[in-house]
A and B are shown apart, each in its own frame.
Chain A
Amino acid sequence: MLSLVLTVIAALFFTGIVIRTKSLASGRKGPGIMQPIKDVIRLFKKGAVYSETSSFIFQIAPTIYLASIVMAMLVVPFGQTKGLLSFSCDFIFFAYVLALGKFFSIISAMDTGSSFEGMGASREALYSMFAEPAFFILMGSFALLTGYTSFQEIFAALHIGSYISYALAGLATFVLIMVAMIENSRMPIDDPKTHLELTMVHEVMILDNSGFDLGLILTGGYLKFAIYGTLIFNLFIGIIDYQYAIPLFFIVQFLMAVIVGLIESFSARFRMNHNAQFIVALTSVSLLIFFGALLMLGKFN
């Protein structure tokens, strides 16, 4: 329950901080931190325009997308406390519930019969397909290190002591941040600010959504970012008491948002053709982490 509340609170600010960082880095003052939330509330009050090509899939897809993200949020723990749902191998449930959301967003994009959305749908399917193995192998390495298989037990038992475990934790953070960027289609995979169809993945899939549905989709996006932030936070705390953990949580989320903003301001987007190999490189790095975990356990040498 605690993780649920904290993640929702973090989601309120996360995207706002990212946008504010990007503006400040380019020398502007930028919108307020609560602006994304105000946008969503404004969208909830508007009417919608539906395409005549679309069907009932288009109507139910944003709902299912948000529901899948909320469901995934229930699995994420917070240090010692479990999430609302916690069982062995629950990270598999986490990944596959998110996959349901992706399934529906892809088919709702194809539902409009537009070539733009088809392009985005095809790319989204390809990239999320390649990003999954990195996540699973990463969790596999952690499961191997700690001997448990559920999120909460893994994070509670993860000790960061020696140099090599710091290195592995650092690499794991890198992989998780990159997976978060891929899932939310931000730099360097995709630039959410160019509204050019040839260069986008996620923004182009929601071109025809409007009103309440668009609000649902945006909320889902913000929540997803905060969920990954919570996961990364969990990598490092483990055993700290609550009175330190909760402020530390907000500090880490803030830092992550600033880092994301800085990455977005200072790096260029990859060429679309090169995205696939970058994502597969993440899987290679995960494999390295796995073998590093083996090294730590002394299983080879």
Chain B
Amino acid sequence: MSLLIAFLVLPIITIIVIPFLKVRGKAIVTISAILINALISGHFAIQTLSGQIFDFSFAGSVVTGPIRIQIDALAGWFILILNLVFLTGSFYGLFYMKAYKEQRNNLSLHWISFILLHTSLISICVIQNGIAFLIAWEIMALSAFLAVIFEHEKMATLKAGINYLIQSHVSILFLMVGFIWVAIKTGSYDFQSITSYTQTQGSATGIFLFFCFFIGFAIKAGFVPFHTWLPHAHPAAPTHISGIMSGVIIKIGIFGILRMLLLIKADYTSIGFFILFMSVLSGLYGVMLAIIQHNLKRLLAYHSIENIGIIGMGIGIGCIGLGNGNQLLAAIGFAGALLHTLNHALFKSLLFYVSGIVYQATHTLNIEHLGGLIKKMPQTAMLFLIAAIAICGIPPFNGFVSEFIIYNGLYQWMLNAGLVSLVAIIFSILGLVLIGGLALFCFTKAFSVVFLGQPRVQFNHEIKDAPFLQRLPLYIISFFILAIGLFPKNVLNMLIQPVSLFTGKIEPTFVPFQDGSLDALQTIGWASSGFIVLIAIIFLLRRVVTQKHKATISSTWGCGYVAPTPKIQYTASSYARSYSKLFSNILLIEKEEKTVSGIFPTEAHFKTHPYDWLEKMLIDKPIKLYKSILSRFLFLNNGKLQFSILYGIIFIVSVICIPLFYDEIILFIDFLKQL
């Protein structure tokens, strides 16, 4: 208990101290505070993975009732992911923010919101009381907002931040509705009351309540069609915040969904089908739009939407397993989802950090202006390559393991399913395969256009690689990526406790994965190691054979063309064109061109700007409609002081008069009704 108090007090002390320190000191103090908090929470989390559950209780106020804190295996898993990403992110951020060291006050605010974000995220994982949960959620949303708008002198950043803030509050509205509904019916804000309430009521209540929570959490997680804030917020934020947002904040939405699945007793099968449908949609939509983006961070943001779709597929399969009473299926589904959460946090944050290094070296995120960076920063390019291979779900890295588990779940389900389920399964498999193929398309594009070839635009400044210490957290993350890929069975053993929380709903004594259902993972681990050894052997063979023969360097073959320039290289849009032509109905690409005319051509230009169709339908059109209705009343807001006072007088008079003349008004209205 005392550790908990220390956990809560430490951020408060840090917040008070930060404004008084020098710039360097601010960052170091924040990092140390996060490290200590990570150690405290990690200490509890690791123990929960072997089966222990911790229960604490704070005596709350008369409004909230007693506030319970419970750390179980699910919370433990998410806390460990959180801490890993925060530690690497804050260390990276220390070096990233060196470029901004003049802005003292801005930096204070930034580091304060950083530590608040960490604390509130961990609290969300463990709080078991409705109002306290909402308070922690709100603190998280606000501190994330403050962290995102670090460069608030840019209009685009501010707009993105406010977009995020508004959608975050829509999400909290849904959560509030859910919690308050339960509290009114049962009189207590504790999470246990949710369980007891849904157990006694009919299944329709359960489903309705679940959807309320689901929409709230889905907005945070970034499921389609609630995703429109994601692609704006991620490029606008400083890189370590983007990495943390993608790696952790959207996972809290997933955590919320999982927690509600454990608490609410409802018809799991229909919920499972619904989540599966939404996830396949999110996965496909996210990656289809990612391919046509020019901005590197925006591309990565759309990929986050796709990976949330994959995690959702795992959750959907697990729910259907729970609904059918098939504990094997439930175990596989939830294991895949939880493992992919970890994997995605790892490789997505790595990708964002590398893009931050690219940004700081070249001051642009537009892929079409980059190229040939591998010669200037080879190690960073290598790290991006590792993360790109991992995100496509290709062995020997960790992405393959979680996608394999989800495929396994789908094929296992198929072996004894009815006709409607079979159609759902075959389309989910189709969706997952297409997602993998599209992700490969997208990342080969991103990697080749940014790092390979020749520079497409000559920069005036020199391009340098980031210092070693800034790259250190990246090496640590890639070590984890490789380790999970090579030793998947050990990671799976760590997942036994969180998954058994779910399968415990069917049969409390079932220990998942002991029956050899995922033994294939052991073979995959060996096969991946063997693969790397094979590559090494062939490479050595090659080295030995080519020692004797000279290798000459010459220019790229140009079919006889004697004046090659970097401009004839394939650009990202050209690479994506074979794809974007096929799907041009769904992808909104706005073109602006001035064509070549005349016999002696003068300058011409061609610009494309990709836009999001769902965002246009769901956000822009309603807002335009809303504005056009309200703009009729614009005359009321003409800024003159006298009018404001006039409005005030009208209000006071009506407030006094209406109760006085209430009866006469009622008579008058009845008279009108009789006419």
Given that A63-B542, A122-B574 are known contacts, is A99 also in contact with B552, CB under 8 Å in the complex?
no
Given that A44-B545, A63-B535, A96-B400 are known contacts, is A132 also in contact with B524, CB under 8 Å in the complex?
no
CB of A70 within 8 Å of the partner chain? yes
**8 Å CB interface, A89-126 against B:** 89-90, 92-93, 96-97, 99-100, 102-103, 106-107, 110-119, 121-123, 125-126
Interface pick from B70-78, B108-116, B562-570, B591-599: B562-570
Instruction: Assess the B553–A71 pair: CB atoms within 8 A.
Output: no
Instruction: Assess the B447–A125 pair: CB atoms within 8 A.
Output: no
Q: In this complex, what residue of B is CB-closest to A64?
A: B535
CB of A55 within 8 Å of the partner chain? yes
Instruction: Assess the A112–B411 pair: CB atoms within 8 A.
Output: no
Q: In this complex, what residue of B is CB-closest to A141?
A: B426
Instruction: Assess the B440–A71 pair: CB atoms within 8 A.
Output: no
CB of A239 within 8 Å of the partner chain? no
**8 Å CB interface, A226-248 against B:** none
**8 Å CB interface, B521-572 against A:** 523-524, 527, 530-531, 534-535, 538-539, 542, 545-546, 549-559, 566, 568-570
Given that A92-B407, A99-B436 are known contacts, is A137 also in contact with B535, CB under 8 Å in the complex?
no
Q: In the complex, what distance in Å separates the CA atom of A57 from the CA atom of B452?
A: 9
**8 Å CB interface, A38-60 against B:** 44-57, 60
Instruction: Assess the B407–A103 pair: CB atoms within 8 A.
Output: no
CB of A216 within 8 Å of the partner chain? yes
Partner of A55, one of B375, B436, B441, B542: B375
**8 Å CB interface, B384-441 against A:** 385, 389, 392-395, 400, 403-404, 407-408, 411-412, 414-415, 418-419, 422, 425-426, 429-430, 433-434, 436-438, 440-441
Of A46, A130, A140, the most chain B CB neighbours within 10 A belong to A140
Question: A120 to nearest B CB, angstroms?
Answer: 10
CB of A294 within 8 Å of the partner chain? yes
Instruction: Assess the B553–A92 pair: CB atoms within 8 A.
Output: no
Given that A118-B574, A125-B444, A294-B419 are known contacts, is A87 also in contact with B453, CB under 8 Å in the complex?
no
Q: In the complex, what distance in Å separates the CA atom of A89 from the CA atom of B434?
A: 18
Question: A144 to nearest B CB, angstroms?
Answer: 6
Instruction: Assess the A90–B520 pair: CB atoms within 8 A.
Output: yes
Residues of A near B202 (CB, < 8 A) are none
**8 Å CB interface, A244-295 against B:** 276, 283, 287, 290, 294
CB of A300 within 8 Å of the partner chain? yes
Partner of A128, one of B381, B437, B454, B578: B437
Partner of B395, one of A100, A208, A294: A100
Residues of A near B542 (CB, < 8 A) are 63, 212-213, 216
CB of A149 within 8 Å of the partner chain? yes
Q: In this complex, what residue of B is CB-closest to A146?
A: B415
CB of A67 within 8 Å of the partner chain? yes
Residues of B near A117 (CB, < 8 A) are 570
Residues of B near A192 (CB, < 8 A) are none
Instruction: Assess the A87–B389 pair: CB atoms within 8 A.
Output: no
**8 Å CB interface, B347-403 against A:** 371-372, 374-375, 378, 381, 385, 389, 392-395, 400, 403
Question: A151 to nearest B CB, angstroms?
Answer: 12
Of B371, B403, B575, B576, the most chain A CB neighbours within 10 A belong to B575
Instruction: Assess the B570–A115 pair: CB atoms within 8 A.
Output: yes
Instruction: Assess the B554–A51 pair: CB atoms within 8 A.
Output: yes
Instruction: Assess the B441–A129 pair: CB atoms within 8 A.
Output: yes
Residues of B near A116 (CB, < 8 A) are 557, 559
Q: How many of chain B's residues have a CB under 8 angstroms from any CB in A?
A: 79
CB of B579 within 8 Å of the partner chain? yes
Instruction: Assess the B411–A89 pair: CB atoms within 8 A.
Output: yes
Instruction: Assess the A93–B527 pair: CB atoms within 8 A.
Output: yes
Q: In the complex, what distance in Å separates the CA atom of A118 from the CA atom of B454?
A: 13
Of B393, B403, B559, B576, the most chain A CB neighbours within 10 A belong to B559
Partner of B426, one of A45, A53, A60, A137: A137
Instruction: Assess the A114–B404 pair: CB atoms within 8 A.
Output: no
Instruction: Assess the A211–B546 pair: CB atoms within 8 A.
Output: yes
Chain B facing A: main interface SS:
helix
Q: In this complex, what residue of B is CB-closest to A273?
A: B581
Q: In the complex, what distance in Å separates the CA atom of A197 from the CA atom of B579?
A: 19
Instruction: Assess the B559–A118 pair: CB atoms within 8 A.
Output: no
CB of B448 within 8 Å of the partner chain? yes
Instruction: Assess the B554–A48 pair: CB atoms within 8 A.
Output: no
Given that A106-B448, A212-B545 are known contacts, is A140 also in contact with B433, CB under 8 Å in the complex?
no
Q: In the complex, what distance in Å separates the CA atom of A254 from the CA atom of B455?
A: 49
Q: In the complex, what distance in Å separates the CA atom of A123 from the CA atom of B575?
A: 8
Instruction: Give B179-213 as 1s and 0s: 1 = Cβ < 8 Å from A's Cβ atoms.
Output: 00000000000000000000000000000000000
Question: A297 to nearest B CB, angstroms?
Answer: 10
Partner of A52, one of B371, B378, B553: B553
Instruction: Assess the B436–A113 pair: CB atoms within 8 A.
Output: no
CB of A26 within 8 Å of the partner chain? no
CB of B604 within 8 Å of the partner chain? no
Partner of A100, one of B389, B441, B554, B557: B389
Instruction: Assess the A110–B411 pair: CB atoms within 8 A.
Output: no
Question: A149 to nearest B CB, angstroms?
Answer: 5
Residues of A near B407 (CB, < 8 A) are 89, 92
Instruction: Assess the A50–B551 pair: CB atoms within 8 A.
Output: yes
CB of A193 within 8 Å of the partner chain? no
Instruction: Assess the A103–B579 pair: CB atoms within 8 A.
Output: no
CB of A30 within 8 Å of the partner chain? no
Of A46, A48, A55, the most chain B CB neighbours within 10 A belong to A55
Q: In the complex, what distance in Å separates the CA atom of A136 from the CA atom of B411?
A: 11
Residues of B near A67 (CB, < 8 A) are 531, 534-535, 538
Q: In the complex, what distance in Å separates the CA atom of A39 from the CA atom of B523?
A: 36
Q: In the complex, what distance in Å separates the CA atom of A114 from the CA atom of B418?
A: 52
Instruction: Assess the A113–B556 pair: CB atoms within 8 A.
Output: yes
CB of B577 within 8 Å of the partner chain? yes
CB of A207 within 8 Å of the partner chain? yes
Residues of B near A143 (CB, < 8 A) are 411, 414-415
Q: In this complex, what residue of B is CB-closest to A58?
A: B452
CB of A299 within 8 Å of the partner chain? yes
Residues of B near A119 (CB, < 8 A) are 570
Instruction: Assess the A121–B520 pair: CB atoms within 8 A.
Output: no
Question: B385 to nearest A CB, angstroms?
Answer: 8
Instruction: Assess the A125–B538 pair: CB atoms within 8 A.
Output: no
Instruction: Assess the B549–A107 pair: CB atoms within 8 A.
Output: no
Given that A106-B444, A118-B570, A122-B575 are known contacts, is A211 also in contact with B453, CB under 8 Å in the complex?
no
Residues of B near A66 (CB, < 8 A) are 538
Question: A15 to nearest B CB, angstroms?
Answer: 21
Instruction: Assess the B374–A53 pair: CB atoms within 8 A.
Output: no
Partner of B538, one of A87, A130, A216: A216
Given that A107-B447, A110-B453, A113-B452 are known contacts, is A51 also in contact with B430, CB under 8 Å in the complex?
no
CB of B615 within 8 Å of the partner chain? no
CB of B582 within 8 Å of the partner chain? yes
Instruction: Assess the A107–B444 pair: CB atoms within 8 A.
Output: yes
CB of A133 within 8 Å of the partner chain? yes
A sample of 30 inter-chain contacts (CB < 8 A) reads A50-B552, A50-B553, A51-B556, A52-B555, A54-B452, A55-B381, A71-B527, A87-B519, A92-B408, A96-B393, A97-B394, A99-B392, A100-B389, A106-B444, A106-B448, A111-B448, A113-B452, A113-B556, A116-B559, A121-B448, A122-B576, A122-B579, A125-B440, A129-B434, A129-B440, A132-B433, A137-B430, A144-B414, A147-B415, A276-B582
Seen from chain B, the residues whose Cβ lies within 8 Å of a Cβ on chain A are 371-372, 374-375, 378, 381, 385, 389, 392-395, 400, 403-404, 407-408, 411-412, 414-415, 418-419, 422, 425-426, 429-430, 433-434, 436-438, 440-441, 444-445, 447-449, 452-454, 519-520, 523-524, 527, 530-531, 534-535, 538-539, 542, 545-546, 549-559, 566, 568-570, 574-579, 582
User: Beyond A48-B552, A51-B555: 12 further Cβ-contacts under 8 Å?
Assistant: A51-B553, A66-B538, A96-B436, A99-B392, A100-B395, A115-B568, A129-B437, A133-B434, A144-B415, A287-B426, A299-B419, A299-B422
Q: Give 10 nearest A-B pairs by CB, closest first.
A: A118-B570, A129-B437, A110-B448, A47-B549, A113-B453, A87-B520, A51-B556, A111-B452, A87-B523, A125-B441
